[in-house]
């Protein structure tokens, strides 16, 4: 197989060696194509599969499946060469998207609340029950161009890119990068756990005080701190507790799993709770209410916060009132 044309400048250092048994993609078109996007992997990046890394980093490919197909077509190079989707990405390598590589995503005309926006980043409120990204028609990523102003910076991305994820059913603050340098900087902040996040939840059962949950998840350490705000009698759950949560590690569904392991699943959690723990409309009562980051350009600390959705407090008030009404009816019968 012919070697791909080298980039016009020496690529960043990095290990681009591949096992001899790895089958590389075959490009149908041998005509040299222009490199439209280059991304240098940060030095402290944990090695990961190329297709998974691209899906989590480059907005042009919002899902692992789309990245996998592009790599197999030869639309994505590493250090100027065709590679396999299974290649382990390492710090210093240069990922290149070729001219025909950018898939045509359709902008989703859906309004989202923008809490903050400048030339480098934005912070928005993710609605519940809509995934951040992926191979779906309705995603937050697809809606971003309709809600954000294009950045005038020279490394502006054609499509704004969320730098972290929220579970599909979870609502709340979501940080979005508008330039490649901002995406790399913010991604590193999340990777090294320098970002501080706060969530509000309504959990089943009677919880008190504050504390730490450190049950391992998936064989890895996991830590969540919590502080109970209010505990009330509930007509449908016996007791429910409103509390704030702060994850200090980033395990999958960490907050939901930690509370479920302590027999206090979040109301509306159909995955880790039980049928009797549902809320009206089966909505998960979990919201990302606070995030603290360093601005990727000025390095100034920035704190963002929103109140929990009004529907959360309305549901809590309804449950408390319904319980009181039921108690009154029982005592008079």
Which residues carry out catalysis?
Answer: 167
193: alpha, beta or left, given left = phi > 0 and alpha = psi -120 to 50?
left
How would you class 115 by CB atoms within 10 Å of its CB: exposed for 0-12, middle for 13-18, buried for 19 or more? Answer: middle
C-alpha distances in angstroms, 259 versus 223, 252, 265, 271? Answer: 11, 13, 5, 12
Among 195, 220, 189, 187, CA closest to 89: 187
Contact present, 268 and 256 (Cβ < 8 Å): no
- CA 217, distance to chain mean position in Å, is 18
- CA 147, distance to chain mean position in Å, is 18
Alpha-carbon dihedral 282, 250, 246, 295, rounded to 10 degrees? -110
Question: Can you tell me the distance from the alpha carbon of 177 to that of 297, in angstroms, rounded to the nearest whole number?
Answer: 11
- CA 317, distance to chain mean position in Å, is 31
H or E stretch covering 158? strand 156-162
Question: Can you tell me the distance from the alpha carbon of 159 to that of 175, in angstroms, rounded to the nearest whole number?
Answer: 14
The neighbouring-strand residues paired with 304 are 291
């Amino acid at each position: 197989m012919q070697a791909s044309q080298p980039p016009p400048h020496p690529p960043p250092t990095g290990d681009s060696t591949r096992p001899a048994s790895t089958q590389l993609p075959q490009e149908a078109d041998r005509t040299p194509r222009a490199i439209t996007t280059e991304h240098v992997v940060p030095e402290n990046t944990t090695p990961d599969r190329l297709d998974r890394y691209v899906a989590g980093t480059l907005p042009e490919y919002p899902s692992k499946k789309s990245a996998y197909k592009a790599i197999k077509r030869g639309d994505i190079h590493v250090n100027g060469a065709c590679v396999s989707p299974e290649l382990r990405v390492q710090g210093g390598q240069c990922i290149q998207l070729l001219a025909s590589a950018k898939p045509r995503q359709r902008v989703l005309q859906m309004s989202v609340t923008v809490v903050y926006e400048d030339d480098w980043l934005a912070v928005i409120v993710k609605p519940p029950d809509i995934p951040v990204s992926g191979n779906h028609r309705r995603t937050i990523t697809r809606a971003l161009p309709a809600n954000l102003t294009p950045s005038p910076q020279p490394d502006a991305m054609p499509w704004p890119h969320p730098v972290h994820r929220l579970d599909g059913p979870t609502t709340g603050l979501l940080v979005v990068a508008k330039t490649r340098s901002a995406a790399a900087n913010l991604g590193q902040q999340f990777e090294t756990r320098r970002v501080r996040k706060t969530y509000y939840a309504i959990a089943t059962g009677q919880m008190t005080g504050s504390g730490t949950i450190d049950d391992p998840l998936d064989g890895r350490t996991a830590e969540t701190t919590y502080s109970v705000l209010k505990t009330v009698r509930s007509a449908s759950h016996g007791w429910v507790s409103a509390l704030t949560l702060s994850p200090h590690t980033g395990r999958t569904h960490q907050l939901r799993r930690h509370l479920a392991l302590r027999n206090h699943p979040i109301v509306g959690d159909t995955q880790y709770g039980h049928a009797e723990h549902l809320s009206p409309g089966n909505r998960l009562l979990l919201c990302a209410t606070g995030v603290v980051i360093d601005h990727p350009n000025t390095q100034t600390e920035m704190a963002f916060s929103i109140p929990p959705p009004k529907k959360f407090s309305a549901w809590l008030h309804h449950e408390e009132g319904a319980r009181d009404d039921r108690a009154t009816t029982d005592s008079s019968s």
